[in-house]
């Protein structure tokens, strides 16, 4: 396997060179052709997907996983549309910014370029295959794909369609590298190839991501989990607070930007919590409260444990804590949070600004739902992922996150004295 992984990476790197300087119009045209091809080949894709589904059922995979694995007409249509939307995004590559004239006359600026080769390691959803190819191609990067073993045939079929489109467009099909095995040893080999791969993006469970971080010599962009908080300050507009806190927990509880812990200023807890909890309970949310919370709303029967403050429930469960001050809220977030997304609800100017400055998370909001922490919502277009480590990107990452700036200098004979 060692040689194979290296060969895939080398070919991708080589193929990527031609892509790096390709014009935006050509890249968009290929993405549109890929969308057409996926629609045209939908019966083939569904046939291959059926093989994966059959095996998954035989292996007793849970219904939610079977659902994520299924390539329905709707999912295929979604993949095609996503490629068309990526085609419509602005192309960040080639832009030169910050061009300045130095005292010796040398013009120094920064040109945005692709990273080179991006490896995506992901789990069950086969539509990630098309998204990853689209985002990498748009940003001028070659891509190496390693999807979940349960979606192997589906991913292979999607890749075959996309590679054929590259070939038909006169482009090198090795721009897309596909790892033809599903054992973890292949990942381990790949993570050593720092000379040929520029970035690894693992998307999936915390276990997968930790394995990648521990073993990679290649830079990794990732977030482990989203333990998002909302702090309802004493000067909150309570109507906004009810609406935002309900939305952040209930609208889509299974995603990383949903709220997991609600922090309530003691000064308004008695006024705010009974109505808030009532609305949550009407929506089927299980509340796990600190002692003061349970004292104010005795109908809450579950006590929050230490583990609950760290938990990403991804479900209709919410931990609630009463705090005495803004400082206590910020300290709680610092201690238990995951640097993902936090919000404050307040009409107080100074405390809103303190929260915005002092909370260290990748997205900090005032008077808005944590659910907005998303590349699409922020206007970045399709989302590559969310980074919660403060290197390269922090927060939702769009196509620009797959690029970097190099220095370009226009001289007329300058030498260093």
The interface with a second copy within residues 106-125 (CB under 8 A) comprises 106, 108, 111, 113, 115-116
Among 172, 198, 265, 383, binds a second copy (CB under 8 A): 198
Q: Tell me the torsion sign for CA atoms 71, 77, 80, 85.
A: negative
> How far is C-alpha 318 from the chain's CA centre?
23
Q: Is 235 in the site for a second copy (CB under 8 A)?
A: no
Who contacts 25 (Cβ-Cβ below 8 Å, separation ≥6)? none
Binding mask 23-52 for a second copy (x = CB under 8 A): ------------------------------
Could you identify the residue written with the tokens 């013009």? 107
Of residues 341, 336, 123, the one with CA closest to residue 211: 123
Q: How far is it, in rounded angstroms, from Cα 386 to Cα 30?
A: 26
Q: Which is nearer to a second copy, 5 or 365 (CB)?
A: 365
Cβ atoms of 319 and 262 closer than 8 Å: yes
Q: Which is nearer to a second copy, 5 or 115 (CB)?
A: 115
Strands 286-289 and 302-303: parallel
Of residues 156, 138, 187, the one with CA closest to residue 2: 187
Q: Is 204 in the site for a second copy (CB under 8 A)?
A: no
Minimum distance from CB of 355 to a second copy (Å)?
10
Minimum distance from CB of 365 to a second copy (Å)?
4
Among 43, 59, 214, 307, binds a second copy (CB under 8 A): 214
* Total length of the chain: 417
Angle value at C-alpha 366, between 364 and 372, nearest 5 degrees: 65
Q: Which is nearer to a second copy, 215 or 295 (CB)?
A: 215
Among 183, 194, 206, 324, binds a second copy (CB under 8 A): 194
Site for a second copy in 312-351 (CB under 8 A): 334
Q: Is 63 in the site for a second copy (CB under 8 A)?
A: no
Measure the CA dihedral 143/146/147/148, to 10°. -170
Among 24, 243, 295, 348, binds a second copy (CB under 8 A): 243
Point out which span in 37-45, 149-157, 260-268, 374-382 binds a second copy (CB under 8 A): 374-382
Minimum distance from CB of 161 to a second copy (Å)?
29
Kindly report the number of other CB atoms within 10 A of residue 101's CB atom: 11
Q: How far is it, in rounded angstroms, from Cα 390 to Cα 388?
A: 6
Cβ atoms of 109 and 408 closer than 8 Å: yes
Q: Is 188 in the site for a second copy (CB under 8 A)?
A: no
What stretch of H or E contains 16?
helix 2-20
Point out which span in 83-91, 175-183, 292-300, 402-410 binds a second copy (CB under 8 A): 402-410
Minimum distance from CB of 245 to a second copy (Å)?
10
Q: Is 414 in the site for a second copy (CB under 8 A)?
A: yes
Among 15, 121, 244, 264, binds a second copy (CB under 8 A): 244
């Amino acid at each position: 396997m060692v040689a194979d992984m290296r060969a895939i990476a080398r070919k991708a790197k080589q193929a990527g060179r031609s892509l790096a300087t390709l014009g935006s119009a050509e890249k968009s045209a290929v993405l549109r052709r890929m969308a057409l091809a996926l629609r045209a080949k939908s019966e083939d894709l569904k046939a291959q997907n059926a093989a994966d589904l059959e095996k998954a059922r035989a292996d007793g995979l849970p219904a939610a996983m079977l659902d994520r694995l299924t390539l329905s007409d709707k999912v295929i249509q979604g993949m095609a549309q996503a490629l068309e939307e990526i085609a419509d995004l602005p192309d960040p590559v080639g832009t030169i910014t910050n061009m300045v004239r130095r005292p010796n006359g040398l013009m120094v600026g920064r040109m945005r370029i692709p990273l080179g080769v991006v490896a995506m390691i992901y789990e069950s959803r086969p539509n990630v295959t098309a998204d990853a190819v689209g985002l990498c191609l748009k940003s001028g990067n070659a891509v190496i794909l390693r999807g979940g073993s349960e979606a192997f045939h589906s991913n292979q079929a999607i890749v075959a369609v996309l590679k054929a489109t590259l070939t038909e467009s006169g482009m090198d099909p090795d721009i897309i590298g596909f790892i033809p095995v599903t054992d973890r040893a292949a990942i381990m080999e790949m993570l050593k190839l720092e000379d040929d791969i520029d970035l690894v993006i693992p998307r999936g469970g915390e276990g997968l991501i930790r394995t990648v971080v521990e073993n990679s010599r290649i830079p990794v962009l990732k977030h482990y989990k989203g333990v998002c908080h909302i702090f309802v300050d004493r000067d909150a507009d309570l109507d906004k607070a009810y609406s935002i806190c309900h939305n952040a927990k209930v609208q889509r509880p299974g995603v990383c930007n949903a709220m997991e812990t609600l922090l309530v200023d003691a000064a308004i807890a008695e006024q705010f919590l009974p109505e808030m909890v009532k609305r949550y309970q009407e929506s089927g949310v299980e509340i796990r409260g600190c002692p003061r919370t349970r004292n104010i709303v005795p109908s809450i029967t579950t006590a929050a444990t230490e583990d609950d403050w760290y938990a990403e429930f991804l479900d209709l469960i919410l931990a609630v804590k009463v705090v005495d001050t803004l400082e206590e809220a910020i300290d709680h977030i610092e201690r238990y949070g995951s640097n993902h997304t936090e919000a404050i609800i307040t009409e107080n100017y100074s405390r809103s600004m303190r929260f915005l400055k002092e909370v260290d998370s990748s997205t900090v909001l005032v008077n808005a739902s944590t659910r907005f922490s998303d590349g699409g919502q922020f206007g970045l277009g399709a989302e590559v992922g969310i980074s919660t480590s403060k290197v390269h990107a922090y927060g939702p990452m769009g196509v620009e996150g797959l690029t970097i700036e190099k220095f370009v200098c226009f001289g007329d004979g300058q030498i260093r004295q």
